Amino acid sequence: MLGAEGVVDDLRRYYGVGLPSGAVPFTGGRFEHLAGEGDRPEVADRFTAEDLVAVQTLSVTVPASVALDILEGRLGTQLSGLLHAIPRDIDMVGAGADVLAEGSPADQAWHLLCAQYGVDWVIAGKLLARKRPRLLPVYDKVVRCALGRPRPSFWLALHAALRADDRSLHRQLLALRQVAGVPETVSALRVCDVAVWMGHRAEGHACPR
């Protein structure tokens, strides 16, 4: 799918690169950059109101009661402790599998979010991708429809794919980013996500909600 004709154009359309005047890019193109990146040092280990708005650009909404608990309550404190233990300055391809494995701080944060009323696996994943965009991928129902449900987890399957063949997939994603003129602040993981998401939608698949 990453080698399909039009993938560079898809990336440009999604991020608004070179769009004609008046054209509207996808709102998801603001996910990484809204109010500054979610992993910048001063906010990397806590969720902010900007993070909660940022995930809305990817068509999900955190329930108000959960949002308040994240911003002002015990849930936010718990998540901050876990975020502090999740590396901020490393790409998934360079991380050890233990950073993504069952029981890791990242896995614990994902399960903690999924345990909240009205928060499903998609919302949980997008929240964590906002805070650790280089390490944790966006994984929604369109991407799952395209790539399936690998075992033991999508994170570990993607990690293995990125590291295979001397990291050729990771290098391909960075090359696509450069050719498309997408900012370097967009991670290789997001290039992969957007390319798969745009390509699968363009093929007209009826993905389950």
State pLDDT tens for residues 99-153.
999 999 999 999 999 999 999 999 999 999 999 999 999 999 999 999 999 989 9
As a whole number of angstroms, the distance between CA 123 and CA 87 comes to 21
Model pTM score: 0.94
Which whole number is the average pLDDT over 76-84? 98
* pLDDT the model gives residue 209: 42
Position 3 pLDDT exceeds 90: no
Pure H helices in 20-120: 49-56, 64-72, 74-84, 105-114
Buried/exposed 104-143: b ≥16 CB within 10 Å, e otherwise: bebbbbbeebeebeebebbbbbbbbbbbbbbbbbbbbebb
State pLDDT tens for residues 50-75.
999 999 999 999 999 999 999 999 99
- Check: CB of residue 140 under 8 Å from CB of residue 125: yes
As a whole number of angstroms, the distance between CA 71 and CA 48 comes to 6
As a whole number of angstroms, the distance between CA 8 and CA 176 comes to 7
> Which of 11, 192, 163 minimizes the C-alpha distance to 97?
163
As a whole number of angstroms, the distance between CA 14 and CA 97 comes to 30
Tokens describing residue 40: 């910048």
Mean pLDDT of the chain: 93
Residues in the chain: 209
* pLDDT the model gives residue 50: 98
Instruction: State whether the Cα torsion 72-44-98-100 is positive or negative.
Output: positive
